Chain A
């Protein structure tokens, strides 16, 4: 039984995904079924299992390792999943998405994400990457009637498989060096090389693995799919993938680069620093010109990938503040971005996606509560205290300064100042412009509960972050 312990959360989510699929199959036409409830149960079970597994450092089959790091990511993913489920019920019906497929794919996607965070083997990381990617590709194209949706899905799919070919090539080179795809053995093989010029194969491996991860976290210049995919996808899917995929990809990114590839730090830090700098600048500057909220948030998501990369780069076993920064940032970004995009999704209808800037005009008048919550999320994305975004950025930048990456810290602070400009544009639209008579649909209580949860999290993390930070610190320590 011990061999199975580590995969329990993953299995629970997979089962609930299967249940969702079956439920759809047995559904009478016209019958309403609370499929989201199945997902919620599965996610709650997975979260519970993760809590029980805490500190156990369980391993399954030598390739899945539920250390505290993976469990922390699992919990983030459960939060993401729960919020998505809470928003979905209404949105799926309104946008006439196929419910069974939607929930099953979302849950399988979460499965892949959890697997990615817990994988202790490059091949498993690759498989998990594909599991989550394939789910998300299909989810992106789920609005079959919409051409934009299909185009977005195909672009995402094609570039995704292109990048995963590079990633896999990187895995092959790592395999060639160490004769194994296990992370620990790769680490051993690389540290055995000692100082001096690393072998070409190792460099190829590092470079190509970095490409694969950078694509998934949408870092420049591997970001091109992001705006298109985010804009074309159904908004609720955008919310899910912008947070979930980022969390999972960063989890694996951090695990691979800080543990087995740690001996090659001198080789990858300059590259990732350059990528991080360009990512923050491009994401922010191009975001300024956007008028579509989803596209704007896509560029914002690119910029946030840059901040997260700083956190990754500034991570070292000796750095106190930096270690927890990435995990904390991921959690913060998850609740904040899900909240913001969730509101966009909840306001959309089949006819009107409600994702243009002007659609938000006068929201304060017609929906004061939603406008207020949206403001909170946007301010958090911009990094203003007392929201979570401020604390998260603060930790990232402090870590960067402590590790001597002054330029990254300066670029980070500068771009986050500029980024407030485009978040503020939405706020201005909501409060200070007379509304066109956009019909705005009803927001059900479950979705409001989700939004309340996200808001509470934003403030909790912003005002009393210590507890979560300590947790994050304890959990990331397990991968060193």
Chain B
């Protein structure tokens, strides 16, 4: 059996990939996807810990998180569309009307 730590490290790496994606990607939709990766990294932790402890709690929590992620994606995409209507661009650096 694969030790718990491996899962935790993998999820940590995934989380870091997601985080760096938020900074590095130049498209608002991919930035949102990066956040999805972060959430799924957390899901991995939940599942691994649940399995390690021998309960189903971890797996169930994952479903909740996935639901939340779906809702977030829906709202996020709607907002992206609203934003796109105004500027015709999806670069995160284009939207700096509100500052200081």
**Distance between B95 CB and nearest chain A CB, rounded to angstroms:** 5
Q: Is the CB of B42 within 8 A of A150?
A: no
Q: A137-B75, A161-B72 are in contact. Are A127 and B64 (CB under 8 A)?
A: yes
Instruction: Say yes or no for A175: interface residue by CB 8 A criterion.
Output: yes
Q: Are B64 and A123 in contact (CB under 8 A)?
A: yes
Q: Name the prevailing secondary structure of the A interface residues.
A: helix
A134 within 8 A of B: yes
Enumerate chain B residues within 8 angstroms of A154, measured Cβ to Cβ.
Answer: 28, 79-80, 82-83, 95
Check if A134 sits within 8 Å of B61, measured CB to CB.
Answer: no
A162-B15 CB under 8 A given contacts A137-B75, A157-B76? no
Scan residues 1-56 of chain B and give those whose CB is less than 8 A from a CB of chain A. Answer: 8, 15, 18, 22, 28, 31-32, 35, 38-39, 41-42, 45-46, 49, 53, 55
CB-based nearest B residue for A134: B75
Q: Which residues of A sit under 8 angstroms from B53, Cβ to Cβ?
A: 179
* Interface size band for B: 35 or more
Q: Given A155-B95, A158-B76, A231-B98, are A180 and B57 neighbors across the interface (CB < 8 Å)?
A: yes
1/0 contact string of B57-68 vs chain A (CB within 8 Å):
110010011001
**Smallest Cβ distance from A111 to chain B, in angstroms?**
14
Cα of A134 to Cα of B68 in the assembled complex, Å: 10
Q: How far is the CA of A144 from the CA of B64 in the complex (A)?
A: 30
- Which residues of B have CB within 8 Å of A168? 39, 42, 65
Q: By the criterion CB–CB under 8 Å, are A141 and B82 in contact?
A: yes
Write out, one digit per residue, whether chain A residues 421-458 have a CB within 8 A of any chain B CB (1) or not (0).
Answer: 00000000000000000000000000000000000000
Give the chain A neighbours of B98 by CB distance below 8 A.
148, 151-152, 155, 227-228, 231-232
Q: A150-B82, A150-B86 are in contact. Are A130 and B72 (CB under 8 A)?
A: yes
Residue of A nearest to B40 (CB): A165
Mask of A145-186 contacts with B, CB within 8 angstroms, 1/0: 001101111110110011001001101110110011100000
Flag if B71 contacts A141 (CB, 8 Å): no
What is the CB-to-nearest-CB distance from A127 to chain B, in angstroms, rounded to a whole number?
Answer: 6
Q: Which of A127, A151, A171, A172 contacts B83 (CB 8 A)?
A: A151
On whether the beta carbons of A169 and B15 are closer than 8 Å, the reply is yes
- Contact A162 to B83, CB < 8 A, known contacts A175-B49, A179-B55: no
A165 and B42 form a contact (CB under 8 A): yes
Cα-based distance from A123 to B63 in the complex (angstroms): 11
CB-nearest residue of chain B relative to A154? B79
- Complex: A162 Cα to B38 Cα, angstroms: 8
**Distance between Cα atoms of A173 and B99 in the complex (Å):** 35
Q: How far is B64's CA from A165's CA once the two chains are assembled, in angstroms?
A: 14
For A168, the closest partner residue in chain B by CB is B42
Chain A residues closer than 8 Å to B38, beta-carbon distance: 162, 165, 169
Q: How far is the CB of B68 from chain A (nearest CB, A)?
A: 5
Task: Evaluate contact between A134 and B80: CB separation under 8 angstroms.
Answer: no
Q: Which residue of B lies closest to A151 (CB)?
A: B95
Smallest beta-carbon distance B39→chain A, Å: 6
A151–B75 contact, CB under 8 A?
no
- Kindly identify which residue among A138, A165, A171, A173 contacts B18, using a CB–CB cutoff of 8 Å: A165
CA distance A130 to B68 in the complex (A): 7
Q: Are A130 and B71 in contact (CB under 8 A)?
A: yes
- Whether A165 pairs with B79 at a CB distance below 8 angstroms is no
Query: Measured between alpha carbons, how far is A144 from B49 in the docked complex, in Å?
Result: 43
Asked if A268 is at the interface of the complex by the 8 Å CB criterion, the answer is no
Q: How far is the CA of A181 from the CA of B42 in the complex (A)?
A: 14
Measured CB to CB, the closest approach of chain B to A164, in angstroms, equals: 8
Once the chains are docked, how many angstroms separate the CA of A313 from the CA of B49? Answer: 31
A180 to chain B, nearest CB (A): 7
- The answer on a CB contact under 8 Å between A153 and B79 is yes
Chain B interface (Cβ < 8 Å from any Cβ of A): 8, 15, 18, 22, 28, 31-32, 35, 38-39, 41-42, 45-46, 49, 53, 55, 57-58, 61, 64-65, 68, 71-72, 75-76, 78-80, 82-83, 85-87, 92, 95, 97-99
Show 12 residue pairs from A and B whose CB-CB distance is below 8 angstroms, ordered by the A residue. A130-B71, A138-B79, A148-B97, A150-B83, A151-B83, A162-B35, A165-B35, A169-B41, A171-B42, A172-B49, A179-B55, A180-B57
Counting from the closest, the 3 A-B pairs by CB-CB distance are A165-B38, A228-B98, A172-B45
